[in-house]
Amino acid sequence: MNSDVPGRVDASEYCPPAIQSATFISSQGDESSSIELSPKLRADLLDLDAWGEILTTYSRSMRVAVALTDSQGRLLGECHNPQPVWKLVNGAAPVGGAGCPFCITTHLPCTAVVAALQGGEAVMVRDQAGLTHVAVPLLLGKQRLGAIIAGQVFDRYPEPLSMRRVAKESGVSAQQLWEVARRQVPISRTILLASGDLLCTLGQAFLLQRYGTIIEAELGRTNRRYRLLVDGVRDYALFTMDLDGRVTSWNGGAESMFGYVVAEIVGQNFSCIFTPEDIASHVPEKQLHQALQGGRAEDEGWRVRRNQQHFWANVNITPLLEDAGPDRGFAIIMQDVTERRRVAMVLEETRQERVRMQETFLSHVSHELRTPLTAIHFFMTNVLDGVTGDLTPQQHEHLSLALDNVKQLKDMVRDLLDITRVETLKLTVEPEQASAAKLVAEVLSTCRTNAALKNITLRSDVAPGLPFVWADPSRVRQIIINLIDNGIKFSPERGTLTVGIRRAEDVGFLRLWVSDAGCGISPGNREIIFDRLAQVRSSVEVSRSGLGLGLFISRELVSRQGGRIWVESKLGHGSTFYFTLPVFSLAKLCARVLTPQNLDGGSVSLITVDVAAIEGSDQANIVPKIRKILGGCIHSGQDVLLPAMSDVEPVRTFFIVACTDLSGFNAIAKRIGRGFQNFDSASTLEPVICSTTLVVGAGGSREEKIIEVTARIDQLIQAHLLNEERDSNG
């Protein structure tokens, strides 16, 4: 492209007023750095005096007109305007037409400024006179500060009016002068274009130079502000340490918290604020180590003031590792929470005291209620059992009902204590291998009289062939009775109540349920009913109320046995309460023994202890004692004393799955022998102890091995029990 414009101003070139060409020149905006500039900083960066020298030098060497604008395009000052290219008026905005600083004849130059500021790129326009103007935006990061505009001038181009005056004064013809003027060429457009880049570079260099110093100054001010902030904080001790734990800075809060002033503490190891016991057990070092390892360390504990007074501190340690070198270390924030701790402790003590008092009170009430209940119980059972003579059928029926009510009272008294135990975490559950079907059958027979009062039919829906559960029989009974009593309470006369058992979807559980055709429970109440003392409002009107503790205790009892309880209900169509109990599994029970190492190492043994002489003696009392002795002879937490493996009574054989080999077994056998001797010095019990080491085939997954071993254990146990049966029969 031939960039040279003909040296003659052709009238035709003054119109039409439109952008004849626009070229975008790349500018180097640093995208990564973005900084929020205050108006003051912005003005500072566009300080014309600072720009003056650059722009004037540039414009002289380039022989162009140069001006600087702010980000709105308002003229900040005229740097170099050798020819009246622009009508530069300081502070004037690029509005186009009259009053526009750049537009004498056209508004093209001001268009370039606006386009450059908007687009963030350099813009070149050529006006009607054929003169080129380049507007370069000034960018600082993503911020547009303003623009520099450079305009082409005709060097020594005579102004038409003065030309005429000169011609007149010099006595030359205007035509001659015009010829002279035609030889004066304007600055090459190519040069101007090339210099656009130069202008950009100059601008960026200048800004970066200023940016640096100004930002540094800004940072300095920020640091001062931070220092003021840190020092001003009084409620927190804020201090820094080097990697060895020597204090490097110490704020006003730390000063008033500990009583050390900066001059005393800086350079000292921070262990001086710990108690002597903590120092002796290397707590300070451990905390720093922990902070380095974990990225932070938190602690609450005693710290020591300069006057040796102790206070309870909440401490937060953060390692400072961002910088290399001397600033690496730790920042510590510490708060004196002695008062907060005291209040929390008082509150907790009050709560415990309240629960203790409640328990004492309830256990007293329970004791006092039980005494008259016991007298009533004995008198009634005596009469019922004919100790005092024969009864008429009606007398018998009425007394039976009265006795049922005594039982209910007894249950309520038990609930009163249970509820407190939930809070004090003393509610006990002792799981054993139990038949859920048997428990349900027992409960149904005891609940029949109560149900008969309202003509309610109790139905059982128990699937055949269910496995044993691992649960506390008395607690399961308590749960089912609670649910049945509830069902009876909310069922209409002549209704039906069903108690059922099925396998749960989770194969490790049985699902038990009690369903009624009562009034149902609204969705909003389905969770609430399991809360303490909950009784849905309308339910009180339906029937006489109990203590409202049944479901709450049931939920606790179910969850403590590893199951869950829930209700499904439709208003007006009855409710079904479900709960799950874990299935008894030899594999689960023995899981802690049946580890891959033990199995592969051949160190799993089944130990059988036969106690022949139990027969005839009071086994109800002796069996628990023997279990206790055996429990003391094995490695608790590792070996497992199995529950009774059949319901044949008397129990004569006890089984232990132990992690032991032959020599280990000899030691256990010796211990068991001694245990029995201590218990029964006459040696009437004569335990016979045997052991079988369980070996599994190589290969196979852990699950397969466990299944294989438990099947083997089961097989051995059944064989043993069968032999025992034969012996006692033969």
Positions that interact with other proteins (CB under 8 A):
363, 366-368, 370-379, 381-382, 385, 387-388, 406, 410, 417, 421, 426, 428, 613, 616-618, 620-621, 682, 684
Element (H, E) at 250: strand 247-250
Distance CA 84, CA 200 (A): 24
CB of residue 622 to other proteins, shortest distance in Å = 9
Q: Which residues contact 250 (CB under 8 A, 6 or more apart)?
A: 239, 260, 261, 262, 265, 266
Distance CA 253, CA 89 (A): 57
CB of residue 414 to other proteins, shortest distance in Å = 9
When the beta carbons of 426 and 494 are compared against other proteins, the nearer one is 426
623-638: buried (b, 16+ CB within 10 Å) or exposed (e) per residue? Answer: beebeebbeebbeeee
CB of residue 528 to other proteins, shortest distance in Å = 30
When the beta carbons of 342 and 625 are compared against other proteins, the nearer one is 625
CA pseudo-torsion sign 526, 528, 532, 538: negative
Q: At what angle do helices 436-453 and 393-424 cross, to 10 degrees?
A: 120
CB of residue 395 to other proteins, shortest distance in Å = 17
Largest interatomic CA distance in the chain: 164
> ω before 284 within 30° of 0 (cis)?
no
CB of residue 413 to other proteins, shortest distance in Å = 9
CB of residue 686 to other proteins, shortest distance in Å = 11
Q: Rounded to 5 degrees, what angle do the CA atoms 31, 33, 37 make?
A: 115
When the beta carbons of 371 and 392 are compared against other proteins, the nearer one is 371
When the beta carbons of 104 and 376 are compared against other proteins, the nearer one is 376
Q: Which residues contact 549 (CB under 8 A, 6 or more apart)?
A: 415, 416, 418, 419, 532, 533
When the beta carbons of 391 and 466 are compared against other proteins, the nearer one is 391
Distance CA 534, CA 265 (A): 60
Contact 527, 489 (CB under 8 A): no
CB of residue 617 to other proteins, shortest distance in Å = 5
When the beta carbons of 618 and 703 are compared against other proteins, the nearer one is 618
The closest alpha carbon to 718, from 539, 542, 586, 554, belongs to 586
Q: Determine the 3-state secondary structure of 78 from DSSP.
A: strand
When the beta carbons of 2 and 371 are compared against other proteins, the nearer one is 371
Q: Determine the 3-state secondary structure of 199 from DSSP.
A: helix
When the beta carbons of 316 and 617 are compared against other proteins, the nearer one is 617
Please report the DSSP string for 256-279 in residue order.
HHH---HHHHTTSBGGGGS-HHHH
Please report the DSSP string for 665-713 in residue order.
HHHHHHHHHHHHHHH-TT--S-EEEEEEEE---SSS-HHHHHHHHHHHH
When the beta carbons of 170 and 684 are compared against other proteins, the nearer one is 684
When the beta carbons of 320 and 376 are compared against other proteins, the nearer one is 376
Q: What is the DSSP letter of 83?
A: S
